[in-house]
Amino acid sequence: MRITDELAAILRQISDDDVGRLLGTGAMNNLMNAILDPGKVKEYPNIAEFLLANKTRASLLALMRHAITINYSFKGGTPGKQGFVSPHFVQWYEDGVIFLEGQEPFVGVICLYRNNEERYAVAARDAKAGEQMGKEDLEFLTIEEFRQRIKPIPAAQISDLEKPIRALEELLANDNTNEAPYQKLIQEYPWILGAKYDSVQDHTKLDDANIPDFTGVRIRDKNRDIIEIKSPAIPVLRKDGELSSEFNEAWNQCEKYLNFAKEDKDYLRRKGFSFDNPRCYLIVGHQLSEEALRKIRVKEKMNQAIEVYTYDGLAAFARRTMQWIMELQSKV
């Protein structure tokens, strides 16, 4: 009891930074493991026996969680729009703070408060399976920027955001390898690409030799990105584990379009096509192996203007986009 009292007195007196240095370098995990080591559950015939043998320790951890949930999620907001603001364990910005805002403690949308301004996190890219979420996976928008992002979405689509996701998942479940229905879906519902385009235009003729499947007009600056769609059935790896000629051909096509858009941007602007730091999104493959995904990520590092979406990755990204649209609509 005396030890905990002394520790509490120390923690009250030291600075915020010093608390982080004291407990934020693995010490907290060590303390939790000292109370109850989850690695020992395998020593018991089942989880219930493990909890029975460590009933006091386990209950103490549950009590700590309960106390944190009750005391450190703060109720706030305006009348009719009240919710909870809760701390978040990830802090990427020295000059800002990240927290959670939602209707329940410790859940909800990720927020960033920085430079006296609150911004809300939206999915910025297709988060890869097994990867730790980083700030490059998220984009932080003000409410006004969010309004601009959803403005191009017709009201009929807003009322049923899941419709194109269901359609995409049905095409994949039926092993549809024809590119046409996927192209039609993206043209009709461009918001599934992250709600960042005013519109997407099919077969934009940059010149006679450069005609990508789509170009998307970005909402934030009205410049264009390139979207190239290949069949989900295209083999991505050869038998020897290297990237296939079909994949490399699609990649080279993306590089060709990007190089033309960058080198001839003045010519394209005169034609009414504005490109400034364009990106190319290559949609290809479905239910790829971990090795295939690893090879693709290595390839992406060679040209960071190209990002590959698998079709199942696109469906997951569209669903995350739907979720943040629904979460942030209540704040508009």
pLDDT in tens, 233-268: 999 999 999 999 999 999 999 999 999 999 999 999
Q: What is the pLDDT of residue 311?
A: 95
Calculate mean pLDDT across residues 7-21: 89
Q: Name the DSSP letter for residue 109.
A: E
- 305 burial (CB, 10 Å; 0-12 / 13-18 / 19+) is middle
Average pLDDT value for residue range 290-318: 93
The candidate with the shortest Cα–Cα distance to 144, out of 220, 47, 213, is 220
**C-alpha–C-alpha distance, residues 157 and 161, integer Å:** 6
Pairing of strands 81-87, 117-123: unpaired
Structure tokens at 228: 């190239």
What's the pLDDT at 24?
78
Give the strand pairing for 117-123 and 138-141: antiparallel
Q: How does pLDDT run across 112-168, given as a tens digit for each residue?
A: 999 999 999 988 766 555 456 677 788 899 999 999 999 999 999 999 999 999 999
Q: Is residue 111 predicted with pLDDT exceeding 80? A: yes
> Is residue 179 within 8 Å of 164, Cβ to Cβ?
no
**Over the stretch 305-331, which tens digit does the pLDDT of each residue have?**
999 999 999 999 999 999 999 888 877
pLDDT at residue 114, as a whole number: 95
Kindly list the structural domains of the chain, giving each domain's residue range(s) and its CATH number in brackets, ordered by start. Answer: 2-69 (no CATH), 74-150 (no CATH), 155-329 (3.40.91)
User: What pLDDT is stored for residue 149 in this prediction?
Assistant: 92
Instruction: Give the E-state strand segments of the chain in sequence order.
Output: 74-78, 81-87, 96-102, 109-114, 117-123, 138-141, 197-202, 214-218, 224-229, 280-283, 306-309
pLDDT tens, position by position, 176-226: 999 999 999 999 999 999 999 998 999 989 999 999 999 999 999 999 999
Q: Does residue 78 surpass a pLDDT of 80?
A: no
Neighbours of 116 (CB within 10 A): 5
Closest CA to 37 of 57, 10, 62, 20: 57
pLDDT for position 128? 56
Cβ atoms within 10 A of the Cβ of 192, count?
Answer: 21
